[in-house]
């Protein structure tokens, strides 16, 4: 489908879904965003749903301003995936042992590494810039600096919620490795620090929603935010890269006879800020629950823990600010999912997937998410499908 414009707002809201299907609170959030005086444009993806301050599934382009809530608290959250030389025939009938090895190598939930991961010991990992990255930690917000030790131990860990590690099979029976994670607690603390600073600034006092507070260009507060933001985005990217290297090492050990090789890793943020130019104007584009889908860009759009995912290639649609959805998107809150579904529902909806099937992940049940096939169909003018993957192992925190 092409987009639909929501009328009666200062800046048109371009929606790649039927506005009538969007929850009322999310629509109001979008109207609030549209009222911001710095807004140049707003695109809404088909996985749209309620978020804090800014709506998940929104692409917000501003002139000389940026809104921390439009990035979200998990700065740099995103996806990585890689195709392997394995095929479905190489996989054992019982995948529980492989899941245990993945969980042994990569801490999940609140877990962390006892000692920070040494990237020089990982097969083929490029360590250029590693020391410089950690030296730049000394320049981040003062009240977060004391978290350095924990940040180092959490590097190469998954976290909880909707973060996952998966072994998947595509429609040609090729095996893929995939994972979803972000900047862990250090990104969250940096985000919350700067959201608090933004809310205190005089130019934000008359906003319809204080959570939409922005930083303005050429101010000390903007400079400090950009420095911490880009560091956290890099942390998230390195976090995924290290996890993928650990995941690949597990697969190498488990399938030594097959002599596994890997294609180049596909990686994309979906909670981040980028400097881009549209309509002849230099803009700060925030994607909160959206990926970049410029012409030829490879991206990843996952479903839920039982429905599969898509590798896509961007079509470069400037109307969406070269963006696409970051996943299926929730159709109900976590609390609502826990009230509606049981562990038996989870067992039935994840049949054929080696994964947790207990009360701790009921809120991640496929039934709590939108239909991924429909979400893909709604953005045919934004991306084309490269591969359709179905998970056979899913690790969650």
Cα–Cα nearest to 167, from 103, 259, 108: 103
Active site residue 326: yes
Question: Residue 111 and residue 88: Cα distance in Å, rounded?
Answer: 31
CATH number 3.90.420.10 is the correct assignment for the domain at 4-331+369-396: no
pLDDT at position 143 is 85
* Sequence-distant (≥ 6) Cβ neighbours of residue 58 within 8 angstroms: 30, 33, 42, 43, 44, 45, 48, 51, 70, 288, 289, 290
CB–CB of 49/279 below 8 Å? no
* Sequence-distant (≥ 6) Cβ neighbours of residue 373 within 8 angstroms: none
Our separate counts of H helices and E strands in the chain read 9, 18
CB–CB of 73/193 below 8 Å? no
Binding site residues, as ranges? 74, 162-166, 180, 270-271, 302-305, 309, 326-329, 396
pTM of the model: 0.96
Half-sphere exposure of 183 (CA within 13 A, CB side): 27
Cα–Cα nearest to 163, from 84, 124, 108, 123: 108
Binding site residues for Mn(2+), as ranges? 74, 163, 180, 270
Binding site residues for GMP, as ranges? 162-166, 270-271, 302-305, 309, 326-329, 396
pLDDT at position 116 is 96
CB–CB of 70/51 below 8 Å? no
CB–CB of 315/92 below 8 Å? no
Cα–Cα nearest to 82, from 307, 240, 234: 240
CA 146 to chain centre: 26
pLDDT at position 1 is 57
Residues of each domain in the chain carrying CATH 3.90.1860.10: 4-331+369-396
Question: Residue 28 and residue 148: Cα distance in Å, rounded?
Answer: 38
pLDDT at position 257 is 82
Cα–Cα nearest to 300, from 289, 313, 288, 287: 313
Cα–Cα nearest to 79, from 17, 186, 162: 162
Residues of the chain with pLDDT under 70: 1
| Sequence-ordered alpha helix ranges (H) in 180-302 | 184-200, 220-254
CB–CB of 246/156 below 8 Å? yes
Q: How far is CA 376 from CA 164, 179, 372, 387, in A?
A: 20, 19, 6, 12
pLDDT at position 52 is 87
Sheet hosting strand 4-6, strand order edge to edge: 4-6, 13-15, 39-49, 56-62, 281-288, 271-278
* Sequence-distant (≥ 6) Cβ neighbours of residue 128 within 8 angstroms: none
Q: How far is CA 217 from CA 65, 226, 250, in A?
A: 6, 10, 46
Active-site position among 49, 269, 326, 388? 326
């Amino acid at each position: 489908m092409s987009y639909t414009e929501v009328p009666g707002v200062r800046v048109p809201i371009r929606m790649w879904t039927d506005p009538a299907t969007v929850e009322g609170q999310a629509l109001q959030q979008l109207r609030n965003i549209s009222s911001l005086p710095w807004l140049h444009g707003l695109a809404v993806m088909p996985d749209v749903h309620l978020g804090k301050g800014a709506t998940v599934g929104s692409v917000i382009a501003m002139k000389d301003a940026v809104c921390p809530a439009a990035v979200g608290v998990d700065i740099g959250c995103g996806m990585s995936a890689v195709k392997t030389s394995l095929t479905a025939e190489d996989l054992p009938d019982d995948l529980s042992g492989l899941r245990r090895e993945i969980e042994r190598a990569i801490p999940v939930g609140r877990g962390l590494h006892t000692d920070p991961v040494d990237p020089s010991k990982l097969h083929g990992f490029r360590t250029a810039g590693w020391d410089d990255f950690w030296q730049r930690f000394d320049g981040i917000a003062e009240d977060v600096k004391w978290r350095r030790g924990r940040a180092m131990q959490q590097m190469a860990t998954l976290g909880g919620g909707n973060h996952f590690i998966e072994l998947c099979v595509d429609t040609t029976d090729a095996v893929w490795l995939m994972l979803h994670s972000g900047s862990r607690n250090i990104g969250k603390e940096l985000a919350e620090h700067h959201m608090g600073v933004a809310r205190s600034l005089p130019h934000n006092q008359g906003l319809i929603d204080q959570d939409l507070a922005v930083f303005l260009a050429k101010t000390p507060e903007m400079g400090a935010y950009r420095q911490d933001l880009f560091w956290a985005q890099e942390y998230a990217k390195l976090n995924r890269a290290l996890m993928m290297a650990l995941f690949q090492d597990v697969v190498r050990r488990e399938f030594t006879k097959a002599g596994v090789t890997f294609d180049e890793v596909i990686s994309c943020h979906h909670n981040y800020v980028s400097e881009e130019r549209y309509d002849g104007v230099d803009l700060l584009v925030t994607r909160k629950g959206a990926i970049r889908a410029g012409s030829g860009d490879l991206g990843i759009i996952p479903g839920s823990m039982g429905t599969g995912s898509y590798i896509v290639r961007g079509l470069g649609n400037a109307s969406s600010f070269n963006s696409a959805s970051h996943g299926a998107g929730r159709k109900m809150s976590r609390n609502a999912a826990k009230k509606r579904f049981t562990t038996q529902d989870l067992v039935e909806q994840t049949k054929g997937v080696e994964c947790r099937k207990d009360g701790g992940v009921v809120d991640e049940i496929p039934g709590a998410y939108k239909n991924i096939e429909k979400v893909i169909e709604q953005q045919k003018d934004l991306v084309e499908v490269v591969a359709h993957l179905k998970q056979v192992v899913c690790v969650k925190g």
